[in-house]
Amino acid sequence: MSEHDAILLARTSAGDEVAFRTLAGRHGGRVIAIARRLLGDAHEAEDVAQEALVRLWQRSGELHVPDGGLGAWLYRVAANLSLDRLRRRRDGDPSALEQLTVPAGQQREMAETELARRVNHALEEVPERQRLALVLFHYEGMSMKETAEVMETTPDAIESLLGRGRRQLKAQLSDEWRQLLPEIGT
């Protein structure tokens, strides 16, 4: 049985690199997945994950792990870092110009099908908090409660964010809805 996050965090705060690597291995994949879904860029997602893990290392002595584990805090950090990068892109930060160009091979890797590309594009147009709720709940498979913990809100608020986000996605994809549904009776 693996050690609880609280024990590993305490060991990390004492400088135990093995404990830190265990935490990074336990949570790193989901951190990258959340950042990738929000940013649409695998390399940038890895940068966000690295920054989130550096913050974990630096703040390990200050953190208190809830019963659910360290994941909610770490996923919230990754989501906030990703949203900050998206805001810099939107606001025209010159340092973000490099992030706007994505090599063609990387684009193909991220969008395995044309349909996935259109859905991802539509998701980018959804307001940040709605997008984050959709990503955590639908793509990362978190429960309503887990999503609420990461977003520091209530499950009722998450339900509202999800409803509005779904409606916006449906409206954006209204011309393509037939392609989004599986063929019936064929």
User: What are the tens digits of pLDDT across the range 83-101?
Assistant: 899 888 877 654 443 444 4
Sequence-ordered list of residues with C-beta below 8 angstroms from that of 57, at least 6 positions apart, any chain: 12, 20
State residue 181's pLDDT score: 55
What is the set of domains in the chain, with CATH numbers? 1-110 (1.10.1740.10), 112-186 (1.10.10.10)
CA distance 170 to 186: 24
Q: Using one digit for the tens of pLDDT, what is the confidence trace for 24-37?
A: 999 999 999 999 98
pLDDT beyond 50 at 165: yes
Place of tokens 């990074």: 24
Over the chain, what HEC string results? CCCCHHHHHHHHHCCCHHHHHHHHHHHHHHHHHHHHHHHCCHHHHHHHHHHHHHHHHHHCCCCCCCCCCCHHHHHHHHHHHHHHHHHHHHCCCHHHHHHHCCCHHHHHHHCCCHHHHHHHHHHHCCCHHHHHHHHHHHHCCCCHHHHHHHCCCCHHHHHHHHHHHHHHHHHHCHHHHHHHCCCCCC
- CA 2 to CA 4: how far, in whole Å? 6
Summary mean pLDDT of the chain: 81
Q: At residue 153, does pLDDT exceed 60?
A: yes
Residue 172 has pLDDT above 90, yes or no: no
Q: Which pLDDT score is estimated for 11? A: 93
| Contacts of 56 by beta carbon, 8 Å cutoff, 6+ apart | 12, 20, 23, 24, 63, 70, 74, 77
CA distance 142 to 169: 20
> Which amino acid makes up residue 107?
Q
